[in-house]
A and B are shown apart, each in its own frame.
Chain A
Amino acid sequence: MSPKWRRYLRFWRPDVRADVDDELAFHMQERVDDLVATGLDRNVAQQEAMRLFGDMPRVKDECIEEALKLETEMRRLETLDVLKQDAIYALRLMRAHPTFTSAIMLTLALGIGATTAVFSIVNAVLLRPLPYRDADRVVLIAETFRGGRGSASGGHVTDWTNQSRTVERTSIWQLRTINLTEGEPERLRAARVTPSFFEVLYVRPALGRYFLPEENADSRVTVLSHPLWVARFNADSAIIGRQVRLGGEPHTVVGVAPANFTMTEFDERLWTPFAITTEQASNYGAHMFTVFGKLKPGANIEQAQADLATITEGIRQRAPDEMNERGVQVVSYGSLLVDGWDTQLWVLLGAVTFVLLIGCVNVISLLLARATARRKEIAIRGALGGARARLVRQLLTESLLLATAGGLAGIIVAKVGIRFFVGMGPAGVPRLDEAGLNWQVLGFAIAATLLCGVVFGLVPAFRATRVDLQSELRDGGRGSRGVIRDRVRGTLIVAEMAVALVLLVSAGLLLRSAYLLQRVEPGFDPRNVTMMRVALPALRYDSAEAVQAGFARILEQVRGVPGVEVAAAGTRVPMWGASIDIGVRVDGRPFNPKDLLIGHVRLVTDQYFETIRIPITKGRSLKASDLAAGAPSVIVVNETFARRTFGDENPIGKRISGWTRDTLPEWREIVGVSGDVRAFGRENESPPEIYMPMTQAPSNAWASYNRSMTFIAKSRPGISVTAPMRAALRNVDPELPAYDVQTMDNVLSQSTATRRFNTLLLTCLGLTGLLLAAIGIYGVIAFFVSQRTQEIGVRMALGASAGSVVGLVVRHAAALAGIGILVGGVAAYWATSALASMLFSIDARDPLAFVVGALALLGVALGAAWIPARRAARVPPIRALTDL
């Protein structure tokens, strides 16, 4: 039997053990009494009662167990009931204040939605593992030249493969273009790969198989990419074993790679096998192969780098001439793919999170204002015995409900946002199209929502419930604690201003970069110029003469197109196509491989400069007579080349030789100097360039250019010549596909498309931040004014002018904004360094962007404060009395 005092515990909560004890004790007493009444002795009766009862300890246990379960269930039901009450109350409040509710929901929906959308991109592009087997061990091994990554020679690949202790397997990848002549001829980007390529980068094939180790160029087999298989062969699974004509020769399709196998910007459409020749395997001078390798398990990039550097140093010992300023670099394939994009995406995610933060600050501000308005209600509830925890829970339920509503709407916003990014995003972002609302992304949205709900529920909840009940009720809810609460709101505004300034400065930096970039003269005039690329198959155009004659015939046809004023051809046009660098020596200077000059060489026809309007600054342009057979060897160089090679000397008449580092130079005379062209996009300095008549190139040069040329035609304004140019090509050779047919205006604008997209996004985010900050400071100042209506009324009654009242209010706003701008300035100074790689010709600490951003923010803040300030100045003094 339990001590009697335990029963008093029931006063606080039921004690099931004591209850069971009591109940069973009662049973025994009654039973004994009944037995005694039948004439039994009390002791005997007690034993008899126990016998009749049975197993007392077991019964007790069973009863206690049941009772405990019941109690737990009751408590749970009670909690649910309270939650339901809270939720119903919160919903009623939300419905009672539709403007308030929708303002918060909209802010959250946009904030959470935009952040989630950007996160889904970051997740798809940067966070998800690559689909390849052991993807973290796949690396690119590049030969470097003057620090930049480049292609490797066959000798390098061979030595790396044979001597490395850290690389398990190497493979070679070489981009080329090839004509697919099945029905409509098409020029395709293709890659020649060693069979091990598909072992280094392995994903199960969609169909068939990859290459066998013994297969090479003679095997005439090919693996198709998924997009090509779908587009050209209607995803026909009977394609395996069929023959397709590539470069005029039949190839057997042995496999189809899965969708999204290729993630590089080159996006090749098919693969053919090859092996390097014994001659290539011992050549250290022809840098032409891209090498992908797979590290041995356990080896890391640093070890592989050190290992391969040692091997490359060995090559330098044996062939010092070939290794001038060259080295080796190992890069993980994953980081290579997202190179450049990662910074931009993280910056974007940071910026959009900042906007969400500003939005949250506004929401907290709104909730605080409402909590203040509800102080009296809360005080009464407290006075009536509402526990603080219960009140906090009530407020938290409200904010969580608001956040959930906002978050749900945000998921819809995110869905739209993702579609926008995938549709409008710059070309070449790997796996961008795979972004979507998957579980990780939804998890992110839910986490963001809950975090928002809890944070801006707790802050006002704790503030609001820490009320002095007596003073609150006595003051009629006006309260003297407004000053303290104002300090919280002031801090929030300062934080908001600071974050907004970081956004504004970032947007300003990008805008200024974009503006400066747009002012860079490209060096040529793209207007009314259309380009078209053509490549001649080796099978039918087997000699340099045949190639040149073919191109000459096409040019003749293009020049005959009605509407074309002037036309020419070149192996490369500005901002488009691959270039070839050659080493150059100068006549009259001693030959030293270390002093070798590098120039980007392009083969051109006459009128190249005239068509695309590159000015000739010295000497003359290339003429038709320069292309005639037997004409003397001449070239035109650009100003950068002339300046770097000859300094202030007049380059006209000087002779240079290039292409091969032969000991028997072929001297060519410089007859003209052309203006510099931003050949690799506006943001890159002009490289040194050499223009050579196409007929004067060494005969092996055409293979390096894939026997391809770009035709450019300047037409009369307002005439599209794309269709007639294609027709002109068909007149010469109906089997030749035209590709990359587009206007040069388009090429020029494409070259800055990514930057424009980034700038546009960050500017939008910056402006959103500015707008939200304005709303925030407006809210706080309006609140400040409403709290001081009485004081203002008294002041005005005592003769204060409207101007001084406005001044009072605006000074308050200016103080808040000023502190915010100071804090934000420091934060921005630190944060904008993340933008450095995205800027053009300005520093990440560009003072102009900082000053303009700060002034814009200050102006908007004061403007937002002006409205409530004017309202304050119109307070009739009588209000001061009536409100007392």
Chain B
Amino acid sequence: MKNELLHGTLEVMILKTLSWGRLHGYGIGRWIMDQGGDALRIEEGSLYPALYRLERKGLIDAEWGISEKNRKAKYYRLTPKGRRVLTAHVVTWTDFATAVGRVLSSADAPSPA
């Protein structure tokens, strides 16, 4: 259950990560796990297929660069299209999460039919 939930939202989280600027795959994974903690712990490998899918959809761009430790690394960057998609997703996701949260924390019993 946790994995399925994550799979759909992983892409959105990648987009969110990249909204701060360009980053390589390892950095993206680390940032998500730093933010989400153990609740969002995933297999690190599953990040990469998601990145390639996003690139194919035209939401992110990739280019080769040199990392801080002087290693060749592939850097990702949000495209304008990716930024629009992210904004839309954030709104939808927040609304959804709020609604689910309201339902789950409600103290009112259902009225009899």
Contacts and interface: CB of A to CB of B under 8 A. Distances in A.
Contacts of A56: 45
Contacts of A26: 24-26, 67, 71-74
Nearest to A64: B52
B40 to A, nearest CB: 14
B43 interface: yes
B43 A70 contact: no
Which of B48, B56, B74 counts the most A-chain CB atoms under 10 A from its CB? B48
A33 B25 contact: no
A23 B48 contact: yes
A73 B56 contact: yes
Contacts of B74: 19, 22-23, 26
Contacts of A98: none
A31 interface: yes
A279 interface: no
Interface string B21-53: 000111001100000000000011110110111
B71 A29 contact: yes
Query: What are the nearest 6 A-B pairs in CB distance?
Result: A54-B43, A66-B52, A54-B45, A62-B49, A59-B45, A30-B26
* Central interface residue in A22, A23, A24, by most chain B CB within 10 Å: A23
Given A24-B48, A26-B24, A70-B52, 18 more contacts: A23-B48, A26-B67, A27-B25, A27-B26, A27-B44, A53-B44, A54-B44, A55-B43, A58-B45, A59-B49, A63-B49, A63-B51, A63-B52, A66-B49, A66-B55, A67-B55, A70-B56, A73-B56
Prevailing SS type, chain B contact patch = helix
Interface residues of B, number: 22
B2 interface: no
A31 B43 contact: no
Contacts of A52: 43-44
A422 B26 CA distance: 76
B102 interface: no
A62 B26 contact: no
Contacts of B52: 62-63, 66-67, 70
B45 A66 contact: no
A52 B26 CA distance: 12
Contact of A53 (B43, B49, B71): B43
A756 B52 CA distance: 74
A568 to B, nearest CB: 94
11 contacts: A19-B74, A22-B72, A23-B74, A26-B72, A29-B71, A30-B26, A54-B44, A54-B46, A59-B46, A63-B51, A67-B55
Contacts of A63: 48-49, 51-52
Contacts of B44: 27, 31, 52-54
A55 B45 contact: yes
Interface string A2-44: 0000000000000000011011101101110110000000000
Contacts of B26: 26-27, 30-31
A19 B63 CA distance: 11
A128 interface: no
A22 B73 CA distance: 8
What is the predominant secondary structure among interface residues of chain A facing chain B? helix
A69 B45 contact: no
A62 B43 CA distance: 15
Nearest to B51: A63
Contacts of A23: 25, 48, 73-74
A376 B4 CA distance: 64
Contact of A66 (B56, B69, B71): B56
Contacts of B43: 52-55
A69 B55 CA distance: 11
Contacts of B46: 54, 59
A476 to B, nearest CB: 45
Contacts of A34: 30
A36 to B, nearest CB: 13
Interface string B72-93: 1110000000000000000000
A689 B49 CA distance: 98
B65 to A, nearest CB: 11
A654 to B, nearest CB: 105
A53 B53 contact: no
Interface in A46-81: 52-56, 58-59, 62-63, 66-67, 69-70, 73
Nearest to A61: B49
A63 B45 CA distance: 10
Nearest to B57: A70
A19 B52 CA distance: 12
Interface string A67-107: 10110010000000000000000000000000000000000
A45 to B, nearest CB: 14
Residue of A20, A27, A33, A63 contacting most chain B CB atoms (<10 Å): A27
Interface string A711-752: 000000000000000000000000000000000000000000
B29 to A, nearest CB: 8
A57 to B, nearest CB: 10
A19 B72 CA distance: 11
A55 B49 CA distance: 12
A69 B51 CA distance: 14
Contacts of B71: 26, 29-30
Contacts of B73: 23, 26
B72 A59 contact: no
B84 to A, nearest CB: 20
Nearest to B24: A26
A20 B67 CA distance: 17
Contacts of B67: 26, 30
B98 to A, nearest CB: 33
A20 B56 CA distance: 15
Contacts of B51: 63
Contacts of A31: 26, 44
Contact of B56 (A53, A55, A69): A69
Interface string B1-30: 000000000000000000000001110011
B48 A59 contact: yes
B55 A70 contact: yes
A878 B74 CA distance: 69
A76 to B, nearest CB: 13
Nearest to A33: B69
A66 B72 contact: no
Nearest to A19: B74
Contacts of A73: 56
A52 B42 CA distance: 8
Contacts of A58: 45
Given A66-B53, A67-B52, A70-B55, A53 B45 contact: yes
Nearest to B33: A52
B81 to A, nearest CB: 15
A67 B74 CA distance: 14
Q: Which of B25, B45, B48 has the most CB of A within 10 A?
A: B45
Nearest to A27: B26
A70 B59 CA distance: 13
Contacts of B49: 59, 62-63, 66
A214 B51 CA distance: 84
Contacts of A29: 71
Nearest to B43: A54
A73 B30 CA distance: 31
A513 B30 CA distance: 96
Contacts of B55: 66-67, 70
Nearest to A66: B52
Centre residue among A20, A30, A63, A73 by max chain B CB count within 10 A = A30
Contacts of B24: 26
Contacts of B56: 66, 69-70, 73
B15 to A, nearest CB: 17
